[in-house]
Amino acid sequence: DGIKKACKEVIDRLTSYFELNSMTCVSQMRNRGNFDFDDRDRKSLDRSEEIFCITATEAHFQGDVISDSQQSDPNDNNNLPLEGHFLIDAFVECTGERANGNMRVQVNLEMYCHTKRGQNALDKIRGRMPGEVGRTNRRWRRMSKKADHQ
């Protein structure tokens, strides 16, 4: 029960972080992978290995319609796939309890970019993620300090 609660908390924090950064999220259970399967391997894949995944894409790419307010240069978005400049798959695994009583949750990221702009966005998102999800960065420390004084 504690493991599931910790896992849900991390999933909620990841989703909030992605949405704060103008991304659209889709949550699902699925297998991890950068796999090259042939038909024989697909049939033997164990469904019990499915884990929770949050897929995040740029919010202004809704299908094949690009929001005019988000489009700075019309030529910048030509020939992009439906997800836009990048795609993030965040796999959340609940690995158990640590010695000090805290729960351990592992987040594995699989990131794909289609442009230099996408790579820059992914670098920025990945760099800020530990502080935001772990709530250890300056913004969260200030909020915690402010809440303690009230």
Structural element, H or E, at residue 56: strand 51-58
Mean pLDDT taken over the chain: 77
- Tokens at 4, concatenated: 């599931």
Share of the chain above pLDDT 90, in %: 20
Record the pTM: 0.72
Express each pLDDT in 23-63 by its tens digit: 889 888 888 765 444 444 544 455 456 789 999 988 776 54
Query: How far is CA 51 from its chain centroid?
Result: 14
How far from 30 is each of 38, 50, 56, 72, 147, CA to CA, in Å? 18, 5, 15, 35, 38
> What burial class does residue 57 get, using C-beta atoms within 10 Å of its C-beta: 0-12 exposed, 13-18 middle, 19+ buried?
buried
Secondary structure (3-state) at 52: strand
pLDDT at 142: 87
**Residues lower than pLDDT 50 in the chain:** 35-40, 42-44, 47, 63-71
pLDDT at 68: 46
pLDDT at 124: 92
